[in-house]
Structure 1
Amino acid sequence: MNKSRKPRRPDVTTVELVGCASHALELHNYDERWADIYLDHRGRIRDALTAADIEIEHIGSTSVPGLAAKPIIDIVVTVDDITVEEDYLPALLAAGYELRVREPRHRLVRTPAHDIHVHVFERDDPAVDEYLLFRDHLRSDADDRTLYESTKRTLLSKRWDDMNDYAKAKTDVIRAIKARAREARGQ
């Protein structure tokens, strides 16, 4: 949240899930088309949000060349005030995305095919910096990229009733990789 001003209205305080969960997924070897798919959706989002001051980044495993990933393109969009949904949400819905999650400090829209996830945060939300720290480190560190991929492969070989449990199971490895990323940056 921008410290120079308060949100124009309170944010939501609970998690609202809309629609069904994503399908069970498997890892795919890195696909060079993922970068082009991201660029197509980046243009689609930019065209939809011409009136808003936004930043758009490709995040997640599909943004790391050479890394196997679930074939879902994750995109982060930053806006000035997450609580002013009328500045971004109707335009994203009109552009063909569907609302999936509304939770404090975060909104998620996705394509009907569930293959593109657009995460909306406020511009200075620390979560955005965390995504970029992780992405940038994996792009430059082959050992951590291999560690992360092998962790995902091991975890996805198990049965998960809830993909959130799979995500939680990666937490310790992600935390360790981020610590090395911060150390490499001198933080």
Structure 2
Amino acid sequence: MTDVIVVSDYDPRWPERFEELRQRLGPHVADLAVSIEHVGSTAVPGCAAKPIIDLDIVVHEEAVIPELISRLVRQGYRHEGDLGIQGRDAFRAPSAAPEHHLYAVVAGSKPFLDHVLLRDYLRERPDEVQRYSALKVALAQRLPADGEGRAAYSAAKSALVEELVAKSRSRPQ
């Protein structure tokens, strides 16, 4: 772990990294998943981000989540529960895999909609991308990369994220 929180300028290779991860996961979950979505800041062109790909495995119904968890555990993932977000299951990637954050969500659920609506809203609003990026860069420059600093980083971003999610939900679909 470094002593600073790393927030990078947008890297046009992030979609390729997502696609590589999607291809790795797909064969193991294809019959359970509706889709595998690239979410988070690395899914938004022009957005500064921690250089870690976020993926959602989207399923039709909650009833398949235990089977999905079982399959991912067999692939070396560690199930971490919901990490405080009800309706979302988080997984720690195997140590040999490229660093990424993996989540399981049900199509139409609040965690799923929060991810994709925010992503899609930001893709259409470069002004909001700039504002969000500037906040993340400023926070990364002043907060340490220890557990306390990372928690403070997430907490400090949350008000803007909530504002952007609310805007994404209120825009015409």
Same fold judged by TM-score > 0.5?
yes
26 and 88 in structure 1: CA distance in 2 versus 1, 3 angstrom threshold: same
CA distance in 2, matches of 1:22, 1:73: 18
Does residue 178 of structure 1 match 2:158?
A: no
Q: For residue 128 of structure 2, what is the amino acid of its counterpart?
A: D
**Matched pairs, number:** 166
CA distance in 1, matches of 2:44, 2:9: 11
- The aligned counterpart of 1:10 is none
CA distance in 2, matches of 1:63, 1:22: 24
Give the conservation status (yes or no) of the 8 Å contact 2:32–2:64: no
Which of 117, 136, 140 is matched with 1:152 structurally?
A: 136
- The aligned counterpart of 2:156 is 169
Give the conservation status (yes or no) of the 8 Å contact 1:49–1:91: yes
Give the conservation status (yes or no) of the 8 Å contact 1:44–1:95: no
- The aligned counterpart of 2:21 is 41
TM-score (norm 2): 0.82
How is 1:24-173 mapped onto 2 (pairs within 5 angstroms)?
A: 25-82=5-62, 84-102=64-82, 104-113=86-95, 115-160=99-144, 161-173=148-160
Say which is worse superposed, 55-64 or 163-172, in terms of deviation: 163-172
Q: For residue 119 of structure 2, what is the amino acid of its counterpart?
A: R
Say which is worse superposed, 154-163 or 35-44, in terms of deviation: 154-163
CA distance in 2, matches of 1:166, 1:23: 14
Higher helix share: 2
- SS, match of residue 142 in structure 2: coil
Percent of aligned pairs sharing the same letter = 28
- Computing the radius of gyration from Cα coordinates, the structure with the larger value is 1
Q: For residue 174 of structure 1, what is the amino acid of its counterpart?
A: V
Give the conservation status (yes or no) of the 8 Å contact 1:30–1:62: yes
CA distance in 2, matches of 1:182, 1:173: 14
Displacement of 1:97: 2.5
Extract unaligned runs of 5+ from structure 1.
1-20
TM-score (norm 1): 0.76
